[in-house]
Amino acid sequence: MKLGAYTACLHDRPLTEALGVLRDLELDGAEINSGGFLPAPHLPIAAVRSSHDAREEYLGQFAAAGIELTVLNCNGNPLHPDPEVRDKHGQDVLDAIELAALLGVRRVVTMSGLPAADPQGQLPSWTVLPWDSAYLDARDHQWNDVAVPYWRTVQARAADADVIVCVEMHPHNLVYNPATMVRLAEEIHATHVGAEMDPSHLFWQGIDPIAALGALGGLVQNAAAKDTRINEHAKINGVLDDRFGRVRPDEPGAVSLGGRYTLSRWPTSSSWDFVAVGRGHDVAFWSDFLAALGKIDPDMAVNIEHEDQELDRLDGLRFAARVLLTASDRD
């Protein structure tokens, strides 16, 4: 099993320094951003496309650090009703397939995306509990008219390149749990589209990630190591807590999500938080999680994703790496 980290939390450092951080943490894999929500400071896209020599020079930086480039990441919303976002994010996924093939990388991670509820809609709409048939109508449009045609294109491109596109099951996307992942795979007759197992987004939905691995089996092609802590306020507001705040695009520290959209402000006294591996679930869980992944693929790439707002970047990575290495019996 390849234990590594997604380098988005190290975008303030040059690639060679970021790889040195991973090496010093005794990790052996890296996931690099190629587009979508985030920029790609660790991937010289034009150079990678330009020549074999440029690609060899780029990959040589990984070899020198003893780190394997295992995954490209382009999480975004390729189905967004706003064309300014949709066109870029949708193309980024297709470009990531091309870039992965050029670099000899077999995995690309992204999200399924989320369209509007109807053809005239201007904002994404998450339809998750269709107790009223109006929501079934919305869901039919989202899947049949928007998602399936796009993802058939992704499947065809990925098959031609022999690259696996791994869909992160992420709320506020059409694919957010095992059932929706299976639906996508069946709708597009997937051979080169599978699942990324990120347990953090399953925990707060009340899903057992290990049971989900059992249900998905070989559809799982990649994994993230990120934890979630359920807080006491979940007993009051539940996990569907909408007390997020608006962040203006011109505010200091605003994070763009494409176009005019920004990352919202997290609620105080939140119902749940993303935390470093081991701060939501103990080593015993992570040991069982890695073992379940190993039954699917003993060479699975598992990359730490740091989003713990209570720890700085290096402390969070260090904490997560130590727990993950202990859980894998490599400590």
Q: Is 202 left (phi over 0), alpha (psi -120 to 50) or beta?
A: alpha
For residue 331, the model assigns a pLDDT of 60
Say which DSSP state 44 is in: -
Tell me how far apart the alpha carbons of residues 169 and 202 are, in angstroms, rounded to a whole number: 8
- Side-chain-side CA neighbours of 207 within 13 Å: the count stands at 22
pLDDT at 227: 98
Contact 79, 150 (CB under 8 A): yes
What does pLDDT average to in each consecutive run of 10 residues of the chain (331 residues)?
A: 97 98 98 97 97 98 98 98 98 98 98 98 94 97 98 98 98 98 98 98 97 98 98 95 94 94 95 98 98 97 97 96 94 60
Q: How far is CA 96 from the centre of its chain?
A: 14
Check residue 127 and give its pLDDT.
Answer: 87
Distance of CA 235 to the CA centre of its chain: 28
8 Å CB contact between 181 and 219:
yes
User: Strand pairing partners for 275?
Assistant: 227
pTM of structure:
0.96
Question: All domains of the chain, ordered by start, with CATH?
Answer: 2-232+278-327 (3.20.20.150)
| Alpha-carbon span 63 to 72, nearest angstrom | 17
Other C-beta atoms lying within 10 Å of the C-beta of residue 112: 23
